[in-house]
């Protein structure tokens, strides 16, 4: 049976030591609730850090390990020094503030923290590998483990891997400031499915990958090293049934009545947050102050309650933040307190969930105003608890939940005046409007609970791994099966090797002239051509001049401009495929020049029989938009002059219809015996014409990511060159 291996920074347990006896208590929480059923099904495992157990002796450690085993959990032990650098230093000192757009709080010199972060991610990967069985699904969670998917993919290429990011993914302009941006992106893209709370987070991820890694932007899938990575939007939620149960509990309801009685008829405005700088508590306090200043007649009719749950208290920045909040609350209360009451009741503590739900039931208005939040479940908890359909929710537009809970009162937490005005609007909202809004909010929260979230993500992972068998085949074929293929090619009585150049033999370059062959490639091609009964053909979209200058002295055949020109051997003349009128080129050039003028970083490459518009170095978002407009602008001239528009890897090329790499196949095969084996390698759409024209017995290999009809796939030009060397070895 397929198991689910859940991987998170912390195990869902709390370790207690009482008079030398160790006990392990399962933790509560949304993720734990969501994962309970899939974790327990078919012997699933949960891997993570159990907390600091460095002071346990050998006997206590053995007792701990046994209790963890019985709970289906696997500990990944970390030293206090590792936790300080991996968790406090890099995860929460670099990634957390950066992903929440608070760049001024990012640690400036985090090189050693990064090294520990990488080492700990390797430790988690090793723990997964040790537990993995063929067919298992692996679900990795959150920003502390962004490198694990790629590390695991390298160790177990066929693993089914999901990754979910529980915090925002920032805009590309912010993310690109991370010194280790390539590593983090590559790490996450090791998964089959990468999940986000909102479509905007997914959008930022896609365009970060486009800008940093040069990937083609696609909001559904990204082609990475011969694989397709699915990108999903899965907003996490809560265990609605549990909150409804608590909201109906008589003791909880009695506590809610006591809270309201102590308010002495005042309306209650509630805030519940971790005491974290992303939650916007200081700005909320300033908005409350502005409300009190503007609405003197309402001061005695409102009580503000702020529950601030302690977090990361050993970190200096958080201790400083707590002092700032305390001073702010004290100043406001000092200005507006009376002998009977203070406006803000500030509580710095944790509370059991039953008491939290009592607060939800007592509150007339719930304020959730983070500066930035991946989702924020407090607002969903409040909505789930309001079983009588009353109450008003004030929600920051920068919380991920705002994309779902559109019936809430939206606010910009940076606009203090607007937040103050919205507090008043919520307090005076008619019961009929409260009911309409809350009923709509509850429908969304009740039907999209945390169990649905987990189910949808795992279904997405299953579809991603089963809907594209060619991708899985690529992973398997890049290793052992390829040995059989190479053996059959070596033993063939005659061999024809047809090779694309850019993206196949050499990496794609920002400008065409920056991709000359290195000495090793020249030697590889020379050695391949020297193999008995072997023909080597380089079939490229490049002009004749490039191929002649770089490869002209090699004893191989060259085909330029996708086969429009061919040269059989060194010293022989270039021959055109056919006679053709080229008077269409000025018109096409003028149209494409308009796109060059509008797209900085793009350029035109003009050849004899074609014109190409390259946009590899342009802003990927703008270039993608422009590339969608090109076909419409060219439609008339394409139709009138029997031309076609070909889409390559970040290049659009206009050429004569019928001039393609496949057109040279009959001429090439006419010069070799019928039993010759054909091997063809290419990397983009132009090479699909070649693959389609070859006989079924040909060995076709696609280099890089993306769709292809090729039988095999290799991740990059380096792998393609190793493959060619293996044909000679």
Known catalytic residues are 500
Distances (CA, A) of 9 to 113, 120, 121, 373, 457: 16, 10, 10, 19, 19
CA-nearest of 691, 714, 282 to 505 is 714
Q: Which residue has the tokens 């290799």?
A: 714
Contact 165, 367 (CB under 8 A): no
Number of Cβ within a 10 Å radius of residue 297: 6
**Phi, psi dihedral angles at 364 (to 5 degrees):** -80, -35
Q: Taking the CA of residue 81 as centre, how many other CA atoms within 13 Å lie in the half-sphere pointing to its CB?
A: 4
Contact 645, 631 (CB under 8 A): yes
Q: Cα torsion at 412, 417, 423, 424 (round to 10°)?
A: -140
Distances (CA, A) of 82 to 8, 98, 183, 302, 318: 16, 21, 20, 47, 20
Q: Is 342 helix (H, G, I), strand (E, B) or coil?
A: coil
Contact 176, 184 (CB under 8 A): no
Pairing of strands 610-614, 651-656: antiparallel
Q: Which residue has the tokens 């090439």?
A: 668
Strand partners, 346: 306
Q: How far is CA 562 from the centre of its chain?
A: 36
Strand runs (DSSP E) across 137-217, as ranges? 137-141, 160-164, 193-196
CA-nearest of 564, 590, 566 to 578 is 564
Q: How far is CA 659 from the centre of its chain?
A: 39
Q: End-to-end distance of the chain based on CA atoms, in angstroms?
A: 42
Maximum C-alpha span of the chain: 104
Using CA atoms, how far apart are residues 191 and 6, in angstroms rounded to an integer? 14
Tokens of 524: 């590889």
Distances (CA, A) of 227 to 235, 247, 648, 714, 722: 25, 47, 18, 10, 19
Ramachandran assignment for 142, one of left (phi > 0), alpha (psi -120 to 50 degrees), beta (any other)? left
Between CA 683 and CA 691, with CA 685 as vertex, the angle to 5 degrees is 75
């Amino acid at each position: 049976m397929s198991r689910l291996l859940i991987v998170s920074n912390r195990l869902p347990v709390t370790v207690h030591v009482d008079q030398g006896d160790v006990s392990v208590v399962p933790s509560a929480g949304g993720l734990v609730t969501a994962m309970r059923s899939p974790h327990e099904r078919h012997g699933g495992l949960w891997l993570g850090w159990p907390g600091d157990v460095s002071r346990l002796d050998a006997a206590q450690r053995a007792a701990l390990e046994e209790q963890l085993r019985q709970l289906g959990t696997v500990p990944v032990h970390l030293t206090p020094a590792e936790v300080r650098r991996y968790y406090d230093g890099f995860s929460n000192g670099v990634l957390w503030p950066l992903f929440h757009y608070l760049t001024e709080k990012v640690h400036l010199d985090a090189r050693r923290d990064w090294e520990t972060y990488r080492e700990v991610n390797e430790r988690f990967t090793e723990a997964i590998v040790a537990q993995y069985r063929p067919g298992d699904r692996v679900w990795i969670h959150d920003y502390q483990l962004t490198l694990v998917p790629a590390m695991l993919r390298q160790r177990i290429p066929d693993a089914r891997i999901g990754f979910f990011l529980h915090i925002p993914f920032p805009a590309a302009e912010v993310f690109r400031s991370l010194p280790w941006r390539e590593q983090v992106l590559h790490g996450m893209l090791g998964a089959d499915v990468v999940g986000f709370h909102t479509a905007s987070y997914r959008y930022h991820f896609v365009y970060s990958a486009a800008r940093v890694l040069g990937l083609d932007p696609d909001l559904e899938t990204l082609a990475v090293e011969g694989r397709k990575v699915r990108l999903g939007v899965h907003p996490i939620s809560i265990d609605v049934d549990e909150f409804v149960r608590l909201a109906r509990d008589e003791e909880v309801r009695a506590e809610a009545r006591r809270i309201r009685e102590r308010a002495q008829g005042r309306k209650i405005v509630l805030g519940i947050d971790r005491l974290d700088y992303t939650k916007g508590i200081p700005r909320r306090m300033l908005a409350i102050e502005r409300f009190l200043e503007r609405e003197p007649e309402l001061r005695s009719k409102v009580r503000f309650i702020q529950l601030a749950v302690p977090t990361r208290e050993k970190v200096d920045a958080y201790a400083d933040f707590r002092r700032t909040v305390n001073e702010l609350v004290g100043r406001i209360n000092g200005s507006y307190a009376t002998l009977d009451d203070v406006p803000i009741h500030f509580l710095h503590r944790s509370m059991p969930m039953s008491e939290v739900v009592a607060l939800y039931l007592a509150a007339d208005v719930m304020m959730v105003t983070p500066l930035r939040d991946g989702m924020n479940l407090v607002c969903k908890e409040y909505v789930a608890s309001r079983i009588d359909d009353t109450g008003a929710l004030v929600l920051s537009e920068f919380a991920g939940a705002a994309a779902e809970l559109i019936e809430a009162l939206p606010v910009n937490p940076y606009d203090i005046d607007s937040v103050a005005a919205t507090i008043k609007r919520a307090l005076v909202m008619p019961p009929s409007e409260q009911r309409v809004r809350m009923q709509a909010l509850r429908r969304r929260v009740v039907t999209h609970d945390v169990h649905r979230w987990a189910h949808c993500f795992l279904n997405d992972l299953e579809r991603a791994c089963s809907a594209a068998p060619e991708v899985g085949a690529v992973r398997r074929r890049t290793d052992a099966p390829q040995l059989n293929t190479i053996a059959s090619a070596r033993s063939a009585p005659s061999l024809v090797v047809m090779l694309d150049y850019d993206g196949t033999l050499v990496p794609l370059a920002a400008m065409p002239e920056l991709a000359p062959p290195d000495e090793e490639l020249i030697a590889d091609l020379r050695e391949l051509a020297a193999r008995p009964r072997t023909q080597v053909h380089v079939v490229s979209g490049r002009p004749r001049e490039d191929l002649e200058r770089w490869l002209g002295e090699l004893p191989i055949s060259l085909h330029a401009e996708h086969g429009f020109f061919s040269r059989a051997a060194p010293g022989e003349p270039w021959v055109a495929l056919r006679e053709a009128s080229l008077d269409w080129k000025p018109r096409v050039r003028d149209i494409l020049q308009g796109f060059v003028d509008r797209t900085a970083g793009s350029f035109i490459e003009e050849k004899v029989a074609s014109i190409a518009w390259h946009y590899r170095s342009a802003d990927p978002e703008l270039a993608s938009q422009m590339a969608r407009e090109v076909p419409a602008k060219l439609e008339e001239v394409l139709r009138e002059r029997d031309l076609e528009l070909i889409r390559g890897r970040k290049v659009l090329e206009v050429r004569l219809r019928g001039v393609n790499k496949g057109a040279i196949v009959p001429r090439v095969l006419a010069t070799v015996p019928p039993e010759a084996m054909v091997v063809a390698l290419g990397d983009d759409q132009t090479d699909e014409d070649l693959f389609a024209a070859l006989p079924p017995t040909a060995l076709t290999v696609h280099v890089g990511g993306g769709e292809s009809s090729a039988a095999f796939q290799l991740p990059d030009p380096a792998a393609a060159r190793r493959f060619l060397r293996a044909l000679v070895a």
